[in-house]
A and B are shown apart, each in its own frame.
Chain A
């Protein structure tokens, strides 16, 4: 019979109590005048914190990092004759604090250890160099690490001295600094021209660790840089590229992943390389197989797969043929997965299903949708966002919208809830998914509204964050697209005329554009819906007119003109109101914006204007005669006469229709 051992044992002291007790004792030993005592204290500290994030955090909070930094700085000052051990141990402690989490990196950098660690790199004792380089590398795993500007000669010389070192930890540090600091095309070019590319190619022949570091920093230098890619591909008459290809067959999964990432970067930057079907298929299979790795490599392989197939239909087809969807689904089904892994798989699924109907139907046949819906309520915000992105991609086609029809409420409730997620990226992703789901489906719309989605969208359209506003307006725009009048009425009631008018006049052009596009869909269709822009004394229409007067972006002109165009399709009163906007009553000598738009180089804008004029001048309607006269006086008719041979076919045809309509009232220009 099992006996309970814990019942008789006294309660052990809590972890934080124990840490605090160690702390004061450690601190006094660290500040001892005896270097031997210090070394021992540092070693104790090191052994306590390595691998133990909890302890690192509590020691940081208790302020131990500055004490260690002081020892490091004064030992580094003392020069080479001082005991190396003090340097080795203090650098190791600092490195461990910086390992694996930003709070540690921040504490270490705040304590000013960076320059001391750099000084260790030129120490005569190789073990000190190792220790310094390792700790700096830990710091360079974080985004918080200081950046080197490679356009400065001193930084470049420093980097080259690192890469030329015999010490593997030092060359590894050089590679980490490149990955962290190289961001712009200028920096990439500076590095490749200074011989860094060549040096890294040489390191492909080095030790296992050097190979991996080299592959990773090579990818950084050539990414999205056509010049650097062709320099790399041409290096050593193609041998550099062949050795990267060979490394995709390496024994070590990490090396295989890094080599394939490098090839993907080359392919995505310069599509002329690596086009044969053999290598494409091989990369897909390799990345799918790497998902079997239980560690970081497996987590990262989905992200690599995404970058291989994103926006590329041919690659998505190859992936489908390689059973990618089945394989990813099987991984996703596993119960214990870390959030990074789930996020990566969802994003890869999203890319796979972004274009091809065959991929989406495979997705539905596996009933994978349930797993994606589960992920909408995941603890990690990145997973929730990824699930939304996946839904958006799956519901990009009408066919799949029908396939997911029975899931309506199960999807909608968590999605609407994500509209008030505490994380903006999740809100944005949820908005984009909703935009695709609510479009053109009356049943789904009403469920969405029942779930409280409408109020949420309206709330978000008032957000301080203009990205959120734009996306919320985008979703509302899809929500009203071809909706029936009752539906539009409830949406308009929620939005209100004054909110819409103020959004049209927002300081952010992208908000203006989306607000106008929303209005365009709102007033499209029946005569009653046109009345919306006349609510509250026509503040919306006036706002549109003002925006068009000052519009300097063609997109805003296009959306605004289409609102007017839809209004102009209404009754006499509607048409006159549009006329008032186009040709202002008070003639203060300024040219109407209509002339400017007709002269625009954007054919879509010209089309929108001409359509509006066609709507205003239908000959069968009594007021048309007066409107033609006004248009003529404003110089619009003669401008249109110059456009009978417009290079854009649609403009040309509509201009001819309009001129025909003008003719029925007699051409007063002669």
Chain B
């Protein structure tokens, strides 16, 4: 084992910074492609103003109608602020098919609505809502029923911040629901639900890991600055 590792270590090729930068310079990337990636990120993540500005400055056309981003962001924001009913109505105005054909998303939005009612201490309203809106969905689907039971359990605790299902009241739950709606709206608009940039970064990390086994080279360790770090020889 030791012998093998040693052999691997000694057999690795070392690529110097100059050599690496020269190779990098040989790779031609079109500026328009880079711009498209940036635009794709802005549009998917919903940065309307930035996308609009970027379009004017770079001349890159977004692959989706910018007006629809505003609507999508309004929905996302409503969920993030806890105005779930408002968000549902907005989605239904945008495209009534989304919630009608996506029972899981619909359930999660209704569950979020219940969570907000409980958060605001509206116990009676919460119970009525759970019974009328959520219980029938639980009957249709076993996993919904389990989630519903977990949510209703919030009512049983005086100190919700310290109960086993307390994480439902966390702000992260709202963000989770919001991003689920966001993705569904994008899919309904024939748009990919994730921006391309993060998956490119994942590919970069994967490629570096593959290369690590064969060579020592200037690696990018800090993705936010993308600085090349000298190989440790």
Contact = CB atoms under 8 A, between A and B. Distances in A.
Nearest to B146: A336
A623 B191 CA distance: 89
Contact of B89 (A47, A52, A100): A47
Contact of B101 (A3, A18, A99, A336): A99
A3 B92 contact: no
B99 A51 contact: yes
Contact of A12 (B88, B131, B155, B157): B131
A479 B156 CA distance: 61
A3 B159 CA distance: 10
Interface string A109-153: 000000000000000000000000010001000000000000000
Contacts of A138: 97, 100
Contact of B155 (A5, A10, A92, A100): A5
Contact of A50 (B100, B123, B136, B155): B100
A15 B127 CA distance: 12
Contacts of A134: 95-97
Given A2-B157, A46-B92, A15 B132 contact: yes
B18 interface: no
A5 B128 CA distance: 13
Contacts of A251: 192
B2 interface: no
Interface stretch (A185-193, A205-213, A535-543): A205-213
B136 A6 contact: no
B57 interface: no
Given A15-B131, A51-B106, A99-B100, A207 B190 contact: yes
B190 A50 contact: no
Indicate the member of A2, A18, A51 with the most B CB atoms within 10 Å.
A51
A212 B158 CA distance: 50
Nearest to A168: B190
Contacts of B103: 51
Contacts of B97: 95, 99, 134, 138
A210 B190 contact: yes
B123 A18 contact: no
Contact of B127 (A12, A53, A100): A12
B124 A9 contact: yes
A1 B163 CA distance: 10
B143 interface: yes
A18 B129 CA distance: 11
B142 interface: yes
A3 B127 contact: no
B92 A53 contact: no
Nearest to B163: A2
Contacts of B155: 5-6
Contacts of B93: 43
B87 to A, nearest CB: 11
Contacts of A92: 92, 96
Nearest to B63: A207
A99 B101 CA distance: 8
Given A5-B123, A15-B132, A207-B190, A53 B140 contact: yes
B127 A9 contact: yes
Nearest to B93: A43
B157 A50 contact: no
A2 B192 contact: no
Nearest to A336: B142
A96 interface: yes
Contact of B190 (A12, A13, A47, A208): A208
A50 B105 CA distance: 12
A100 B124 contact: no
Contacts of A210: 190
A4 interface: yes
Contacts of B131: 12, 15
Contacts of A51: 99-100, 103, 106, 110
A232 B135 CA distance: 49
Given A3-B156, A100-B100, A12 B106 contact: no
A48 B136 CA distance: 14
Contacts of B89: 43, 47
B8 interface: no
B106 to A, nearest CB: 4
A294 B137 CA distance: 18
Indicate the member of B103, B142, B190 with the most A CB atoms within 10 Å.
B190
B123 A336 contact: no
B133 interface: yes
B100 A18 contact: no
Contacts of B157: 2-3
Indicate the member of A50, A53, A100 with the most B CB atoms within 10 Å.
A50
Nearest to A211: B190
B156 A53 contact: no
Contacts of A3: 156-158
A404 B64 CA distance: 60
Contact of A336 (B100, B128, B143): B143
Nearest to B186: A208
Nearest to A4: B156
A51 B113 CA distance: 15
Contacts of B128: 12-13
A207 B101 CA distance: 19
B92 A50 contact: yes
Contact of A208 (B127, B132, B142, B192): B192
Nearest to B154: A5
Nearest to B96: A92
Interface string A402-424: 00000000000000000000000
A235 interface: no
A50 B101 CA distance: 9
Contacts of A100: 100-101
Contacts of B156: 2-5
A168 B128 CA distance: 40
A54 interface: yes
A210 B189 CA distance: 11
A207 to B, nearest CB: 4
23 contacts: A3-B157, A5-B156, A6-B155, A12-B124, A12-B128, A12-B132, A13-B128, A15-B132, A46-B96, A50-B96, A50-B100, A51-B110, A52-B137, A53-B136, A54-B136, A95-B96, A96-B100, A99-B100, A99-B101, A134-B95, A138-B97, A208-B187, A210-B190
6 tightest CB-CB pairs across the interface, nearest first? A51-B106, A207-B190, A12-B128, A54-B136, A2-B156, A99-B100
Given A47-B88, A210-B190, 10 more contacts: A5-B155, A9-B123, A12-B127, A47-B92, A52-B133, A52-B137, A53-B136, A92-B96, A207-B190, A208-B190
